[in-house]
Amino acid sequence: MRVFSLLDGLYKAEYGVGDAFGRSIMCMHEGRMLGGNSAFAHLGTYRRDGEEIAAEIITERHNDDPHYKPLMGTDHAAIKVRGKWHDGGLRFEGEAAPRPGALFWANLTKLDEEALPPVGEVGPGGIVNGLYSIHIRALDGIDGGLSGVMLLLDGRILGGDAFFYYLGAYSSADGRWKGEILNQEHTPAVGEIPVFGGHEIGIGFSGTCHEAGAELEAIALAGKRSLRLTAVLRLMRRA
C-alpha cells in the first residue's frame, strides 16, 4: 500500500486568512494537491512528515471575470502549511506569501465518491491527464453557467468549485472524448447559482480534445428540466 493511499481523494476545502474566507475543492493524489473554484486553481504538493502533513500550494487565476476577487488581494499566492487529521478531516495552518505574519488556515473534508461511474478507456490521441479549468455555458437562451476546475485522470473525472463537486468518467481516443458527470452540491447553492442550485445534475457529453484542452457539448438533467450546455476546458497542469 502506498503511503499516500489513505489521504488520496476529493475534498471540500474551506480556508481563510484574517477576515478573508474562501471555499474550493481539492484532490489529493499520490503527493499532489490539485483543485480550485470558479476563478482560481490550486496547484501543489504534499508529503508525510512524522505525524504531520506538509504542503506547498500556489494559486493561479483561470477566470478573468472581475466579480471574483482574490482572497489575499493578488491573483498569485504561495502558501505553506502543515496539518494533521482533526475531527474527521484535515486541518492545516501556516502562512501565505502575500500576508506575512498572518495565520492561514484550511479545513479539508473528504467528499463521498461512491457515485463515481465505471472508469472509461483512454487510447492513443486521447485527452491528457491533468487539472483543467472548465467554463460551462447554457444554450437555448437560458441565462446560466458555471466555471470551476476538473481533474482528468485515466478515465476518471473529479472536480468542482465553491459550491459543487463533479464525479464522472470518460473515454477518449483520436482527438475525441465522451463521458458522464454527476454534479452535486457540497455547500447549499440555492439562491447563489441560478439554474443549477438545489439540484443533483446528471450530464452526458461528447466533444473534441487536443494537447492544450478540450471542448464539449452536453445534455444536463436538473430536476425535471433538460438543458443543453457547451463547455471549454484549458489544461493548467499535467498530472
Residues 76-120: tens digit of each pLDDT? 999 999 999 887 789 999 999 988 899 999 999 999 888 788 999
Residue type, 115: A
Q: What pLDDT is attached to residue 4? A: 44
pLDDT tens-digit series, residues 47-82: 999 989 999 999 999 999 999 999 999 999 999 999
Q: What is the mean pLDDT of the chain?
A: 92
pLDDT above 60 for 3? no
What the block records as the C-alpha cell of 185 is 452540491
How many angstroms separate the CA atoms of 195 and 125, rounded?
A: 35
Residue type, 225: R
Name the residue with cell 499516500. Answer: 4
Share of the chain above pLDDT 90, in %: 77
Question: Is the four-CA dihedral 196, 208, 60, 47 of positive or negative sign?
Answer: positive
How many angstroms separate the CA atoms of 209 and 226, rounded?
A: 25
What the block records as the C-alpha cell of 92 is 492545516
Question: Would you say 216 and 230 are in contact if contact means Cβ atoms under 8 Å apart?
Answer: yes
pLDDT tens-digit series, residues 141-156: 787 788 999 999 999 9
pLDDT above 80 for 191? no
Question: Would you say 170 and 157 are in contact if contact means Cβ atoms under 8 Å apart?
Answer: yes
- Domains of the chain, CATH where assigned: 9-110 (2.40.128.380), 130-238 (2.40.128.380)
Residue environment code for 98-110, b if the CB has 16+ CB neighbours within 10 A, otherwise e: bbeeeebebbbee
How many angstroms separate the CA atoms of 136 and 145, rounded?
A: 5
Q: What pLDDT is attached to residue 5? A: 57
DSSP structure class, residue 115: T
The burial of 223, by beta-carbon neighbours within 10 Å (0-12 exposed, 13-18 middle, 19 or more buried), is given as exposed
pLDDT above 70 for 43? yes
How many angstroms separate the CA atoms of 83 and 104, rounded?
A: 12
